[in-house]
Chains A and B, each alone.
Chain A
Amino acid sequence: MINLLLFPILIPLLFAAILLFFPKNISLQRIIAAAAAAATLISVLFLLFKVKADGIQAVTLGSWDAPFGITMVSDLLSVLLVLSATIITLFVIFYSMPTIGIEREKSFYYPAVLFLLVGVNGAFTTGDIFNLFVFFEVLLMASYMLIVHGGEKPQLRESIKYLLVNIISSAFFVAGVAYLYSVTGTLNMADLAVKIPQIEATGILTVIAVMFLVVFGFKAAIFPLYFWLPGAYYAPPIPVLALFGALLTKVGVYAIIRTYTLFFTMNIAFTHELLGIIAILTILAGCVGALAYFDVKKIIIYNIIIAVGVILFGVAQMNEAGIEGSLFYLIHDMLIKAALFFLIGIVAVLFGTSNLREMGGLIKTYPVLGWVYLIAAFGLAGIPRLADSLGNY
């Protein structure tokens, strides 16, 4: 019984609540937001060493024992994802300071970023499927605010669609949880892993598994359900885009990995085959999209979809090498995607456009920036020596 694993959720929540009181004092907002992310990072590092030394940590809220109370579980996977999420948020806050604009900073920009971190860290840590829904809603609510923040016309137009898609997927999530509860009688993930293999009727469980795949697929942007992503992610400014691209789809991917490796394993021949086919189609759709545009921002956005497909294909193999590769690629992709979005933001400002045709000669005028971008893009492409290549096999 240790409360350490709640700190990555509670620290940003507390600081975000404090930040709500003085929206107009920008310098204080910046300092406290950065301090909050840094404090969260420190607590995650402590947690990482704790988990590495002592194994899986768990807290049952209110001391109700496991199948009845809500459990928060931190294993090495979830703590590493929380760590990457926190690092990215810290750098997004630094990157936002000069780029996001005074008007946005004055109207609750930093609290929204921190609330998003609360939701993401919570979703990575929770061990209860309904609690996962609640944390999904926390991060979605923050993302609704961030995507419409600033109130430009494209933002308003796209955020309506984003909101609608996510409301529908949340309704399906609630329905899926209801079915799962009525079939198994529990919502605790560890308990589900025990109960599900005992149930004879695998047909209904397969239906529930596919329903959850649809729900998480909306969030993770897998093949037929990615249609909302290119438009919605194009609207907000670059720091928000980096935050979304690096964190939001990855939460959906994490949820698929968790559910499909932990308890929806009763009919691998169907569900994981389906996941594999969808993963390949996702990669194809992402590639077609990335090749079709000359706008760097759009190309990188379609890269998110490709990465989701690659990660899920590894999971669909359902063997040690595949899942190892997927998890490695997942964490690597979170970090490298955020870096690429940052660089593209700088490049777009320098050239005054994000159209590939009108750019050129970057490496002559800004050699350092050009080479850094090259390294980041190589990282994405999987050149040996850059961690990524390991994940691709």
Chain B
Amino acid sequence: MEIIMSFVIGFLFMAAVYLMLSKSLIRIIIGTGLLSHGAHLLILTMGGLGGTALPVVADGVSVSDYADPLPQALILTAIVISFAVTSFFLVLAYRAYQELGTDNMNLMRGTEDND
């Protein structure tokens, strides 16, 4: 299972890099979304997958019976943060498109003759 997850994470990172290297702003934003998804899945996988019991201390349940709950708490925080950042990025992209009249990164170089 961990092996499959590694491939999924690798694919997500690959797709993210491909999208972020494109010129269109909206593709770049989708790329950042995929990148953070990949990172979140990575935490999940690093905490170990599977487990048969709930991660609650009780009779007859030992530590080896459940998956580590801490990475899941970490993911929750990371998801909320990436959600906020992505929504900010979308608003910023829309505003930039309105003001600058383009969503092409090639035209946003910021050299002196291109202000």
Q: A-B contact count, CB below 8 Å?
A: 94
Interface check A194, CB cutoff 8 A: no
* A181 to B75 CA separation, bound complex (whole angstroms): 13
Interface check A364, CB cutoff 8 A: no
Interface check A359, CB cutoff 8 A: no
Interface size on B, residues (CB 8 A): 34
* A157 to B32 CA separation, bound complex (whole angstroms): 18
* A178 to B38 CA separation, bound complex (whole angstroms): 12
Where chain A touches its partner, the secondary structure class is helix
CB distance from B49 to the nearest CB of A (A): 12
1/0 per residue, CB under 8 A from A, across B35-49: the answer is 110111011011100
* A172 to B43 CA separation, bound complex (whole angstroms): 11
**Residues in A neighbouring B115, C-beta threshold 8 A:** 153-154
* A160 to B100 CA separation, bound complex (whole angstroms): 12
With both beta carbons as reference points, the residue of chain B lying nearest to A134 in the complex is identified as B77
Interface check A148, CB cutoff 8 A: yes
Name B36's contact: one of A161, A171, A178 (CB within 8 Å). A171
Contact residues of A between 83 and 131, Cβ < 8 Å to B: 130
Contact residues of A between 147 and 176, Cβ < 8 Å to B: 148, 151, 153-154, 156-161, 163-164, 167-168, 170-172, 174-175
**Residues in A neighbouring B70, C-beta threshold 8 A:** 181
Interface check B113, CB cutoff 8 A: no
* A168 to B38 CA separation, bound complex (whole angstroms): 12
Name B43's contact: one of A134, A160, A168, A177 (CB within 8 Å). A177
Contact A157 B110 (CB under 8 A): yes
**Residues in A neighbouring B77, C-beta threshold 8 A:** 130, 134
**Residues in B neighbouring A154, C-beta threshold 8 A:** 110, 115
Contact B85 A141 (CB under 8 A): yes
**Residues in A neighbouring B40, C-beta threshold 8 A:** 174
1/0 per residue, CB under 8 A from A, across B11-51: the answer is 00000000010000100100010011011101101110000
CB distance from B25 to the nearest CB of A (A): 7
**Residues in B neighbouring A370, C-beta threshold 8 A:** none
Contact of A164 with B28 at beta-carbon distance under 8 Å, contacts A134-B77, A171-B39, A178-B46 already known: yes
Interface check A137, CB cutoff 8 A: yes
CB distance from A384 to the nearest CB of B (A): 40
* A236 to B74 CA separation, bound complex (whole angstroms): 33
Interface check A23, CB cutoff 8 A: no
Contact of A178 with B100 at beta-carbon distance under 8 Å, contacts A134-B77, A154-B115 already known: no
**Residues in A neighbouring B81, C-beta threshold 8 A:** 134, 137, 170
With both beta carbons as reference points, the residue of chain A lying nearest to B74 in the complex is identified as A130
**Residues in B neighbouring A382, C-beta threshold 8 A:** none
**Residues in B neighbouring A175, C-beta threshold 8 A:** 38-39, 42
Interface centre among A144, A157, A163, A179 (most CB of B within 10 A): A157
Interface check A231, CB cutoff 8 A: yes
Interface check A319, CB cutoff 8 A: no
With both beta carbons as reference points, the residue of chain B lying nearest to A186 in the complex is identified as B70
**Residues in A neighbouring B67, C-beta threshold 8 A:** none
CB distance from A305 to the nearest CB of B (A): 18
1/0 per residue, CB under 8 A from A, across B89-115: the answer is 100110110011000000010100001
CB distance from B57 to the nearest CB of A (A): 13
What is B's interface to A at a CB cutoff of 8 Å?
20, 25, 28, 32, 35-36, 38-40, 42-43, 45-47, 70-71, 74, 77-78, 81-82, 84-85, 88-89, 92-93, 95-96, 99-100, 108, 110, 115
What are some 27 contacts across the A-B interface (CB < 8 A)? A134-B77, A141-B85, A141-B88, A144-B88, A156-B100, A157-B96, A160-B25, A160-B92, A161-B108, A163-B85, A163-B92, A167-B35, A168-B20, A171-B32, A171-B36, A171-B38, A172-B39, A174-B40, A175-B39, A175-B42, A177-B43, A178-B42, A178-B43, A178-B46, A178-B74, A181-B43, A181-B47
Sample of 4 more A-B contacts, CB < 8 Å, known A153-B115, A163-B88: A154-B115, A159-B92, A160-B92, A178-B71
